[in-house]
Amino acid sequence: MKKHLVILSAACGVGKTTIQNTLRQLNLLPHFACLDSDEMGINWWDYTGTPREADYTKDCLATALARAGDRSLVFCSCIAPPDFCKMRPCFPEISSVQHIGMFCSDDEVRRRLLARPAERMCGDEKFIRSQIEYNQWIREHPSEYAFHIDNTPYTEEETARIIADFILG
């Protein structure tokens, strides 16, 4: 069965997991599996700095597609549209793709990353800088996305509803 894929792209700390959880809790997209790369049981730190580093996102997406079963998928990940295009041939079960870019203020990214537990390993200044740079890239490249949202002024529920409304058309 062919599946529609929606990729919600954002830097770490922008709120992908929070929005994914809200979409599920409010049942805003009942015909979609709403999954986050963090739920796939695949650890980025096992890939980084290895010859398989480029396979991390592909492996996460393959796992998410399998978990989605017959349903279409909203996949929350850091993947940028140009990177997905390189791996698209690996997924013949995908019939169509929409990319949603989500960002917030850089100060908010920093605050959220510093508030995470130490075991998430997000408090390093180099890591924070890299996520702020990616957040800025998403903000500055709206043409890469079918939908582009700054979630800074919205609550979690408002953001989830705006995204669901876009997906449902």
Beta strands in the chain (DSSP E): 3-9, 32-36, 72-77, 94-103, 147-150
Residue 14 pLDDT: 93
Residues 6+ apart with CB under 8 A from 32: 6, 68, 71, 72, 73, 74, 167
Torsion on CA atoms 82, 83, 87, 91, rounded to nearest 10 = -80
- Cα angle 104, 120, 45; round to 5: 105
**pLDDT, tens only, 85-120:** 888 778 888 999 999 999 999 998 888 787 766 666
The span from the first CA to the last CA of the chain, in angstroms, equals 22
Residue 160 has pLDDT above 70, yes or no: yes
For 62, the token pair is 């393959």
Residue 48 pLDDT: 83
Region 130-149 average pLDDT: 93
For 88, the token pair is 């698209």
| Average of per-residue pLDDT values in the chain | 89
Residue 46 pLDDT: 86
Q: Rg of the chain over CA atoms, in angstroms?
A: 15
Q: Tell me how far apart the alpha carbons of residues 47 and 137 are, in angstroms, rounded to a whole number.
A: 23
Out of 42-56, 92-106, 128-142, which region has the weakest mean confidence (pLDDT)? 42-56
SS3 41: coil
